[in-house]
Amino acid sequence: MSTLNVKIPDEMEDDLETFLEDHPHYLNKSELARDALRHLLDSPRLSQRTLADDRLSREQIDAGDVVALDDV
């Protein structure tokens, strides 16, 4: 098994400790990190169409080619 060292802000350390207290099925921070990474890596990817639509939307926003919701 490989080792991965990660630096986190002190506030996140406190949040992790609280999370582990509330979720005792995680025995330690390493197990929690492995599970979080597993979910991240196994999550479905966005389709090429969705990515293209997102790029187009961002280009339109950057160009100011938008209409306020109240004006629609």
Residue 50 in contact with residue 57, Cβ under 8 Å?
no
- pLDDT by residue (tens digit) across 2-51? 999 999 999 999 999 999 999 999 999 999 999 999 998 987 788 899 99
E-strand spans in 1-72? Answer: none
Q: State pTM to two decimals.
A: 0.57
- pLDDT by residue (tens digit) across 45-72? 888 999 999 999 999 999 999 988 888 8
DSSP-assigned letter for residue 43: S
Backbone angles phi, psi at 15, to 5 degrees: -65, -40
- For 47, 64, 69, 72, the CA distances from 58, given in Å and listed in that order, are 17, 10, 16, 19
Residue 39 in contact with residue 26, Cβ under 8 Å?
no
pLDDT confidence of residue 46: 85
Kindly list the domain boundaries of the chain, sorted by start residue: 10-71
